[in-house]
Amino acid sequence: MASNFQEGQRVEIIVRDQTPDDIKNRSYYTFWGGLTGEIYRIYNDGKAAVHIDNDALPDVVIKRHTDAQDRMKKRWIDSLSDEARNRLTPEEKQFKLKYMVLVDLGDVVATTRRPLPKEQTKRKSLAELDKQEAQYLNSAAEKAQ
């Protein structure tokens, strides 16, 4: 199956509703919509493995991902002998898991967008939204007078 995508290309997963086929095939979850990443591998069946940007993941997912990464790193370090552990360079001691998803190529679009740092994407609380709405309504009422 020919596609316009290439390995290493930045993509964004489209936002759409999950279908019964998606559930059956585990090929799309609604929280994937809007995630950005890089195509790691393209398969002949029209699917692609996408390495998701960690900054694009929801907080609860990145926490679970980081916890799993820490547990696996500890297990790996603990499995090494003292001699082998002492010979590791700082670069070799780095243990970073990639968050990969397998998606249909029809569910991705090319992008150059990178996720914003978490502090810039923090959602407003209900109180903050209410305050912002009240300010907007007040300014609209003043303009109407």
For 113-126, the pLDDT digits (tens) are 766 555 555 667 78
CB 49 within 8 A of CB 39: yes
Task: Measure Cα distances from 69 to 15, 35, 72, 86 in Å.
Answer: 28, 20, 5, 21
* Structural domain harbouring 24: 10-117
Q: What is the pLDDT of residues 31-80, one digit of tens each?
A: 888 899 999 999 999 999 999 988 888 888 888 888 998 999 889 888 98
Tell me how far apart the alpha carbons of residues 127 and 140 are, in angstroms, rounded to a whole number: 20
Q: pTM for this one?
A: 0.65
CB 38 within 8 A of CB 27: no
Half-sphere exposure of 133 (CA within 13 A, CB side): 7
Confidence of residue 96 (pLDDT cuts 50, 70, 90): confident
Q: Evaluate whether residue 134 is within a structural domain.
A: no
Q: Evaluate whether residue 5 is within a structural domain.
A: no
Q: Please provide the average confidence, as pLDDT, over all residues in the chain.
A: 85
Q: Evaluate whether residue 136 is within a structural domain.
A: no
pLDDT at 89: 86
Q: Evaluate whether residue 84 is within a structural domain.
A: yes
CB 53 within 8 A of CB 41: no
Q: Evaluate whether residue 138 is within a structural domain.
A: no
Q: Are strands 108-110 and 10-13 parallel, antiparallel or unpaired?
A: antiparallel
What number is the average pLDDT over the span 79-92? 87
Q: Evaluate whether residue 4 is within a structural domain.
A: no
What's the total number of domains in the chain? 1
pLDDT at 20 over 70: yes
Residue 61: which region, alpha, beta or left (left: phi > 0; alpha: psi -120 to 50)?
alpha
Q: Evaluate whether residue 83 is within a structural domain.
A: yes
CB 97 within 8 A of CB 74: no
pLDDT at 47: 93
Q: Evaluate whether residue 130 is within a structural domain.
A: no
